[in-house]
C-alpha cells in the first residue's frame, strides 16, 4: 500500500502538477490525498512532506500541503526549512493563519516559527496576521510572557507604510494583549 501511494504521489500527481502551468495549478486533490493518507500512514505523509520542501514542482506549494495535516513541532521544523530553501513565496505562508492550524503548537514553537517568517521580506505582516489569529482563538496555547515576547518583537520590526483597516484591527489585537507590563512598554 505504501509503495503504491508513494508512486501515485511522486509520479502521477506530481507529474501532472508539473505539466500544468503554475497559474493554472490546483493542489486540492493533493491536499485531500495527504489528509486522508495521514490517518493510516502518518510516517509516509511525513516523508512525502519532507520531500516536497525541496521538490521543484511541489516546494512552491509546500506550506499549503503542511496545512492539510496540521502543524506540530516537526511541521514547524519543516516550515522553517522551507523558508530557508526559499522555493515557496512568502505570501503562501498566510495559509498558516486559517482553521486554527497553529493552535496546537507550544508557545516556544509558535514563536520560533513567527520569528523566522518575520525575518523574510514582507514576512512581518504575515507573522502579525498569524499572531492575531492565535490571540483571537487560542491565547491559552502560549504563556502570557511568550505572547508578549513575540508581539513586542513583531511590533519592533513593523513599518507603518501602507496600512489599512484590517491591519489596524490586527495590530489592535496584538497591542491589547502584548504591549502590557514592563516588557510591553
Q: Give per-residue pLDDT as tens, 123-170.
A: 999 999 999 999 988 878 888 899 999 999 999 998 877 666 678 889
Question: Any residues with CB less than 8 A from the CB of 134 and at least 6 apart, and which?
Answer: 102, 103, 110, 141, 142
Q: What value does the mean pLDDT take over residues 16-42?
A: 89
Q: What value does the mean pLDDT take over residues 83-101?
A: 95
In terms of C-beta density within 10 A (0-12 exposed, 13-18 middle, 19 or more buried), how is residue 89 classed?
Answer: exposed
Q: How confident is the model at residue 88, as a pLDDT?
A: 98
Cell digits of residue 66: 503542511
Which long-range contacts does 12-15 make (Cβ < 8 Å, 24+ apart)? 14/55, 14/57, 14/58
Residue-wise pLDDT for 6-21, tens only, equals: 666 666 777 788 888 8
Q: Please give the radius of gyration of the chain, using alpha carbons only, rounded to the nearest integer.
A: 18
Q: How confident is the model at residue 181, as a pLDDT?
A: 67
Q: pLDDT band for position 52 (50/70/90)?
A: very high
The rounded distance, in Å, linking the Cα atoms of 156 and 159 is 8
The rounded distance, in Å, linking the Cα atoms of 66 and 180 is 33
**Global confidence as pTM:** 0.88
The rounded distance, in Å, linking the Cα atoms of 30 and 36 is 10
User: Look-up: residue for cell 496584538?
Assistant: 174
The rounded distance, in Å, linking the Cα atoms of 64 and 66 is 5
Q: How confident is the model at residue 137, as a pLDDT?
A: 87
Q: pLDDT band for position 4 (50/70/90)?
A: low
Q: How many residues does the chain have?
A: 185
Residue-wise pLDDT for 98-122, tens only, equals: 888 998 899 999 999 999 999 999 9
Amino acid at each position: 500500500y505504501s509503495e503504491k501511494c508513494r508512486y501515485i504521489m511522486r509520479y502521477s500527481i506530481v507529474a501532472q502538477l508539473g505539466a500544468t502551468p503554475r497559474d493554472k495549478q490546483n493542489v486540492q486533490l493533493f491536499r485531500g490525498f495527504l489528509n486522508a493518507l495521514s490517518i493510516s500512514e502518518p510516517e509516509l505523509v511525513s516523508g512525502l512532506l519532507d520531500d516536497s520542501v525541496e521538490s521543484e514542482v511541489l516546494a512552491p506549494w509546500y506550506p499549503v500541503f503542511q496545512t492539510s495535516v496540521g502543524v506540530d513541532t516537526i511541521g514547524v521544523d519543516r516550515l522553517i526549512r522551507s523558508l530557508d530553501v526559499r522555493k515557496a513565496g512568502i505570501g503562501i505562508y498566510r495559509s498558516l493563519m486559517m482553521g486554527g492550524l497553529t493552535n496546537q503548537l507550544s508557545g516556544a514553537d509558535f514563536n520560533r516559527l513567527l520569528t523566522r517568517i518575520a525575518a523574510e521580506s514582507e514576512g512581518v505582516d504575515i507573522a502579525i496576521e498569524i499572531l492575531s489569529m492565535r490571540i483571537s482563538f487560542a491565547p491559552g496555547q502560549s504563556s502570557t510572557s511568550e505572547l508578549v515576547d513575540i508581539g513586542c518583537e513583531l511590533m519592533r520590526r513593523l513599518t507603518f507604510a501602507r496600512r489599512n483597516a484590517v491591519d489596524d484591527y490586527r495590530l489592535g489585537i496584538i497591542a491589547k494583549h502584548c504591549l502590557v507590563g514592563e516588557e510591553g512598554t
